[in-house]
């Protein structure tokens, strides 16, 4: 799945799979939207006027309280107020204006969905568009007050707006009631209830480390920083730490919660605070003895209370550690800034759990390798099926293909669900980078003369997969398509076969993936690689491979998982992307790596890193132009296909899937130059 997401969420939250396409009902929807939109805006403006002080502007980000990439319907406030369904965007409402800042993926969609007589689109990717804070600073006046729900903004987002407003003697104030939620109640359309689904313990045979061990390690780090408490707010951080999984957010096996780790106890804010025996038993078994449950909604009061207690404890100064992506309300509550004369000091930096889960342990890595075998079987079976259908004259739509793929994945052990919404783009749809086929409206059939781009993934108890393969359905691509397909593959190989010093940041690798494309004036508009969680979010920070450095990237290290997914998109015609997940491995002269034997140094002791490819599905031979590949690249592809075949064929045989085996064998015949 596309790496661009993780980059974009550095500034705005973004979900890749939400951008719904136009359907036949869009015109009706728009009329309805217009009426509702005005009514909603009027109600919000009335509420803004009734605040004391009166709000000159109210900001509505696309965000939940956990800085999640995917948000729950309960948090879709910007969508409700503006009718704009895109996954990224920030709305600002003043007494006379209403605006949404969003990026280039959504300009057309915005104009289709939104009442443009009430709302203004701020095209944030254009150089002349003022940033939100600049716009506020030039449209408000001395003494104006801007409100925002401080749970929907991280401190890093809050600070520049506050600074810009201060300069014009205006101010940004936290409004603890979310005004959009209040308007929804007032208009009889309350926000859906937040999910608090059941929790499922994940056994140490999958996680490799008990919750007790993980918490002990956190406490060691807290001791180094002299922190009295560590406040975890990112949902995947909490799921990882406790070896628990949930299902509150689609595709992400996480659950709404907060976790506070202290020297001798931990407090889990979840649901109504009643932890079921399955959870307390699991935690006890994993060596976490003292766990207190508190209601999810009490987190801010709980933090204030903790700040007050620490402050009054009389045993010297205390420090509380929280993640730099914790929201502004959490920052304020944890420091006790509203309740204490002298607030508690905060350490606000990248969460230690983010850094811990970035580097997978050996059990997690084995799980990743294993689930990629299962996922390879499913995807191979799917493609064999799809070619069979289309060759046999069947009309298969993108949605039907996605559903069939899910069926094949369901056959695999420990499969828990898709890791994101499948991107199945046939022909011109493949060139829409954030495409996802819509179940409603007209369906696109995968034609025999189409390039078909399929980006999908699975959640397994032993790991998470994310794979993109692009195939020409009749195996007869145009010369131009073959050239582009091959150049994208060359880029993927240049990453996959790269050696590099331990500790360099992911961004230094990005250009390798683009080199073969850049040589002929082609490129792609997304990053090259994102981190992947272990049966957790398919996009996981803080490392990644993009032209922009990831600010909290601690440097690449053995045991990290990245995607390797260059692409090329010809708008209106076709899209190509090749995506593997890759594991970072240490390489020396004796390693099983194609470049190992030539090693003459280890970068002066820093150590040599390389990649091992986890994904096990061949690339379509007919689309590869061996004439523009080096000898090394040809042998690299052939060795990879050999490995795919050697790994998958015994399983296919054992399961009696002989037609699939035969198909796979044909796919893995070595490529050669003419």
Note the residues at the interface with a second copy (CB under 8 A): 167, 345, 480, 483, 498-501, 504-505, 507-512, 515, 518-523, 525, 547, 549, 595, 598-604, 606, 608, 630
Strands 319-323 and 345-349 turn out to be parallel
> Measured from the CB atom, is 383 or 500 closer to a second copy?
500
Write down the least CB distance from residue 2 to a second copy, Å: 17
Is residue 122 classed as helix, strand or coil in its secondary structure?
strand
The long-range contacts involving 411-414, CB below 8 angstroms and separated by at least 24 positions, are: 411/378, 412/371, 412/374, 412/375, 412/377, 412/378, 412/458, 412/460, 413/374, 413/460, 414/371, 414/374, 414/460, 414/461, 414/462
Q: Say how far apart CA 28 and CA 36 lie, in whole Å.
A: 12
Query: Other CB atoms closer than 10 Å to residue 280's CB: what's the count?
Result: 14
- Least Å distance between CB 490 and a second copy? 13
Q: How far is the CB of 21 from a second copy (least distance, A)?
A: 22
Closer residue to a second copy in complex, CB, 52/167: 167
Looking at residue 124, what DSSP letter applies? T
* Shortest Å, Cβ 76 to a second copy: 32
Q: Rounded to the nearest whole angstrom, what is the least distance from the CB of residue 627 to a second copy in the complex?
A: 13
How many angstroms separate the CA atoms of 77 and 74, rounded? Answer: 8
- In the bound state with a second copy, the residue whose beta carbon lies nearer, of 344 and 424, is 344
Q: Whose CA is closest to 379, among 614, 555, 89, 39? A: 614
Helices and strands (DSSP H and E) totals, the chain? 20, 28
Nearer to a second copy, 277 or 521 (CB): 521
Residue 32, classed as helix, strand or coil, is helix
| Cβ pair 463, 496 in contact under 8 A | no
**Nearer residue to a second copy within complex by CB, 381 or 490:** 490
- Cβ nearer to a second copy, comparing 190 with 525: 525
Q: Which is nearer to a second copy, 324 or 370 (CB)?
A: 324
CB of 161 to a second copy, least distance (A): 18
Least separation in angstroms between CB 497 and a second copy: 9
- The answer to whether the CB of 320 falls within 8 A of the CB of 335 is yes
The CA distances from residue 546 to 84, 357, 459, 576, in Å, are 28, 20, 25, 18
* Distance of closest approach, residue 431 Cβ to a second copy, in angstroms: 12
Which residues are bridge partners to 154 per DSSP? 327
Could you tell me where the beta strands, DSSP code E, fall in 311-440?
A: 319-323, 345-349, 415-418, 423-426
- Nearest-approach distance from CB 237 to a second copy, in angstroms: 24
Nearer to a second copy, 195 or 591 (CB): 591
d(C-alpha 404, C-alpha 414), whole Å: 18
Nearer to a second copy, 505 or 621 (CB): 505
Least distance between a second copy and beta carbon 483 (Å): 8
Residue 170, token pair as written in the block: 């205006």
Choose between 368 and 569: whose C-beta lies nearer to a second copy.
569
Distance in Å, CB of 505 to a second copy, minimum = 8
Return the closest-CA partner of residue 581 out of 563, 557, 560, 565: 563
β-strands 529-531, 266-269 pairing: unpaired
In this complex, which beta carbon is closest to a second copy, that of residue 63 or of residue 161? Answer: 161
> CB 510 → a second copy: shortest distance, Å?
7
Hey, what are 117's tokens? 């007589």
Under 8 Å CB-to-CB from 413, ≥6 apart: which residues?
374, 460
- The residue among 316 and 392 lying less far from a second copy, judged by its C-beta, is 316
Angstrom distance (rounded) from CA 420 to CA 436? 10
């Amino acid at each position: 799945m596309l790496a661009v997401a993780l980059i974009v969420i550095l500034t705005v939250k973004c979900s890749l799979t939400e951008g719904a396409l136009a359907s036949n009902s869009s015109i009706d929807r728009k009329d309805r939207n217009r009426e509702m939109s005005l009514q909603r805006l009027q109600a919000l403006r009335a509420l803004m006027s009734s605040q004391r002080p009166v709000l000159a502007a109210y900001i509505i980000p696309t965000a939940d309280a956990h800085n999640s990439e995917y948000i729950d319907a309960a948090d879709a406030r910007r969508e409700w107020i503006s009718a704009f369904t895109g996954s990224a965007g920030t709305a600002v409402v003043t007494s006379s204006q209403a605006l949404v800042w969003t990026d280039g993926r959504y300009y057309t969609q915005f104009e289709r969905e939104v009442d443009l007589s009430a709302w203004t689109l701020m095209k944030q990717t254009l150089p002349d568009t003022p940033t939100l804070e600049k716009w506020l600073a030039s449209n408000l006046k001395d003494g104006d007050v801007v409100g925002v729900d401080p749970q929907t903004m991280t401190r890093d987002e809050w600070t520049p707006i506050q600074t810009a407003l201060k300069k014009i003697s205006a101010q940004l104030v936290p409004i603890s009631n979310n005004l959009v939620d209040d308007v929804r109640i007032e208009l009889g359309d309350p926000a859906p209830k937040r999910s608090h689904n059941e929790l499922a313990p994940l056994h140490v045979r999958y996680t490799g480390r008990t919750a007790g061990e993980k918490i002990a390690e956190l406490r060691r780090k807290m001791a180094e920083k002299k922190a009295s408490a560590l406040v975890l707010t990112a949902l995947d951080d909490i799921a990882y730490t406790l070896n628990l999984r949930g299902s509150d957010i689609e595709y992400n096996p996480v659950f709404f919660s907060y976790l506070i780790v202290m020297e001798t106890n931990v407090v889990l804010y979840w649901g109504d605070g009643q932890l079921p025996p399955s959870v307390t038993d699991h935690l006890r078994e994993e060596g976490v003895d003292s766990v207190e449950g508190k209601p999810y909604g009490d987190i801010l009061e709980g933090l204030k209370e903790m700040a007050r207690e620490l402050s009054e404890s009389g045993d010297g100064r205390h420090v509380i550690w929280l993640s730099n992506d914790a929201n502004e309300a959490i920052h304020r509550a944890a420091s006790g800034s509203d309740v204490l004369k002298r607030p508690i000091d905060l350490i606000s930096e990248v969460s230690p759990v983010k850094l811990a889960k970035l580097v997978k342990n050996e059990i997690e890595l084995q799980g990743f390798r294993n689930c990629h075998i299962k996922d390879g079987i499913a995807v191979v079976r799917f493609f064999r099926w799809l070619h069979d259908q289309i060759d046999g004259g069947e009309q298969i739509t993108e949605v039907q293909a996605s559903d069939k793929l899910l069926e094949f994945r369901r056959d695999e052990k420990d499969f828990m669900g898709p890791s994101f919404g499948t991107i199945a783009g046939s022909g011109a749809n493949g060139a829409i980078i954030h495409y996802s086929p819509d179940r409603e409206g007209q369906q696109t059939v995968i034609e025999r003369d189409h390039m078909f781009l399929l980006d999908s993934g699975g959640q397994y108890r032993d790991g998470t997969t994310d794979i993109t393969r692009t195939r020409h359905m009749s195996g007869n691509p145009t010369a131009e398509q073959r050239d582009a397909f091959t150049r994208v593959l060359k880029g993927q190989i240049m990453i996959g076969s790269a050696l590099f010093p331990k500790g360099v940041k992911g961004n230094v690798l990005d250009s390798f993936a683009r080199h073969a494309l850049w040589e002929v004036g082609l490129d792609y508009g997304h990053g090259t690689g994102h981190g992947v969680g272990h049966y957790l979010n398919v996009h996981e920070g803080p490392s990644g491979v993009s032209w922009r450095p990831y600010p909290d990237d601690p440097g690449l290290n053995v045991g990290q998982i990245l995607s390797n997914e260059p692409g090329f998109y010809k708008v209106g015609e076709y899209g190509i992307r090749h995506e593997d997940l890759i594991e970072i491995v240490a390489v020396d002269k004796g390693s099983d790596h194609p470049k190992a034997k030539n090693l003459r140094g280890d970068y002066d002791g820093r150590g040599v890193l390389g990649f091992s490819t986890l994904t096990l599905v061949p690339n379509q031979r007919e689309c590869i132009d061996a004439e523009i590949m080096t000898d090394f690249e040809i042998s690299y592809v052939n060795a990879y296909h050999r490995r795919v075949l050697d790994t998958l064929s015994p399983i296919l045989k054992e399961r009696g899937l002989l037609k699939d085996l035969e198909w796979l064998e044909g796919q893995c015949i070595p490529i050669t130059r003419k």
